[in-house]
């Protein structure tokens, strides 16, 4: 009888432990930069259904999230473009890799006078950010719009002498990025960074006459992890959740074109 009672207790304990195990959650720490957690809050809710507890860790700069990831304080981060990531890990000799793409915050070409790049007349003046990286991104945008052609193997650092074809003889007014919206009345068009455009009341998707899309691969944002974790099942599952249709719809509705969901294969971004 005692043996029977012990057996019942053992089975009951096993059932309880099994139930606890099935409800156990794996915690994943994800680092972001800034205070906007809208998308990751939504991803966290979806992940919870699959037994993944997402802990969002906020940073106020663009340096610490990568260092914290490399030191094992985070499991993943999601805040940076491919271009920034590639340069950072090379400079700091970090063993980090991307596991998924997320969004692009598109740079745009804006005009108060014309409705498309094709309408820009010969000799038109384009305002262009003068910082090397911003200018390089702007020149790539103009090339994508079919207005200029850049030298082969363009390295992304802006310089007007890297333009090898300019069939409309466009003129360029270079100025600090923050000034690019203010000169719109005085130029044919102006290239404006995403954040500056949004602050000026513009939607890149609705108000620009041309903007970046998924072909601007250096400027797509990514989810990054330590190289040793690139095949981790939980992190891959989290990446799949981010790239789901529900998250895509949320980004499109929430940001009105200020961020565009850009879910492309890693080989498209050089990985």
pLDDT in tens, 202-225: 999 999 999 999 999 999 999 999
pLDDT of residue 102: 98
Q: Looking at residue 234, what is its pLDDT?
A: 98
The CATH number of 108-211 is: 3.40.190.10
Q: Tell whether the model's pLDDT for residue 25 goes beyond 90.
A: no
* Tens-place pLDDT, residues 130-162: 999 899 999 999 999 999 999 999 988 899 999
The answer for residues whose C-beta is within 8 angstroms of residue 167's C-beta and 6 or more apart is none
pLDDT of 1 reads 47
pLDDT in tens, 219-271: 999 999 999 999 999 999 999 999 999 999 999 999 988 999 999 999 999 99
Mean pLDDT estimate for the chain: 92
Fold of the CATH domain 25-106+217-269: D-Maltodextrin-Binding Protein; domain 2 (3.40.190)
Residue 10 in this model has a pLDDT that exceeds 70:
no
Q: Residue 123 pLDDT > 90, yes or no?
A: yes
Biggest CA-to-CA distance, the chain: 100
Quick check: do 25-106+217-269 and 108-211 share a fold?
A: yes
Find the helix or strand (DSSP H, E) in which 97 lies.
strand 96-104
265 burial class (0-12, 13-18, 19+ CB within 10 angstroms)? exposed
From CA 108, how far away is CA 237, in angstroms rounded? 33
Specify the pLDDT at position 24: 66
Q: Which residues contact 233 (CB under 8 A, 6 or more apart)?
A: none
Domain ranges of the chain: 25-106+217-269, 108-211
Q: Percent of the chain, pLDDT > 70?
A: 91
Q: What pLDDT shows up at residue 4?
A: 44
Q: How far is CA 143 from CA 31, 60, 219, in A?
A: 34, 34, 15
């Amino acid at each position: 009888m005692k043996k029977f009672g012990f057996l019942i207790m053992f089975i009951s304990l096993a059932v309880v432990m099994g139930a606890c195990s099935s409800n156990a959650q794996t915690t994943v720490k994800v680092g972001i930069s800034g205070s906007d957690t809208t998308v990751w809050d939504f991803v966290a809710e979806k992940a919870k259904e699959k037994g993944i507890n997402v802990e969002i860790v906020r940073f106020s700069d663009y340096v610490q999230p990568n260092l914290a990831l490399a030191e094992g304080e985070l499991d993943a981060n999601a805040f940076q473009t491919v271009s920034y990531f590639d340069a950072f890990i090379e400079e700091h000799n970090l063993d980090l890799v991307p596991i998924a793409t997320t969004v692009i915050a598109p740079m745009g070409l804006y005009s108060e006078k014309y409705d498309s790049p094709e309408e820009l007349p010969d000799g038109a003046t384009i305002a262009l950010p003068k910082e090397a990286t911003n200018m390089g991104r702007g020149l790539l945008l103009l090339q994508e719009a079919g207005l200029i052609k850049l030298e082969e193997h363009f390295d992304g650092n802006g310089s007007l002498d890297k333009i090898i074809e300019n069939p409309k003889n466009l003129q360029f007014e270079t100025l600090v990025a923050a000034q690019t919206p203010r000169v719109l009345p005085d130029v044919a068009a102006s290239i404006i960074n995403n954040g500056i455009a949004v602050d000026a009341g513009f939607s890149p998707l609705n108000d620009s006459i041309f903007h970046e899309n998924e072909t601007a691969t250096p400027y797509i944002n990514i989810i990054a992890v330590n190289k040793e974790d690139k095949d981790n099942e939980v992190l891959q599952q989290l990446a799949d959740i981010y790239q789901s249709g529900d998250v895509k719809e949320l980004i499109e509705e929430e940001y009105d074109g200020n961020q565009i969901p850009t879910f492309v294969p890693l080989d498209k971004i050089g990985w």
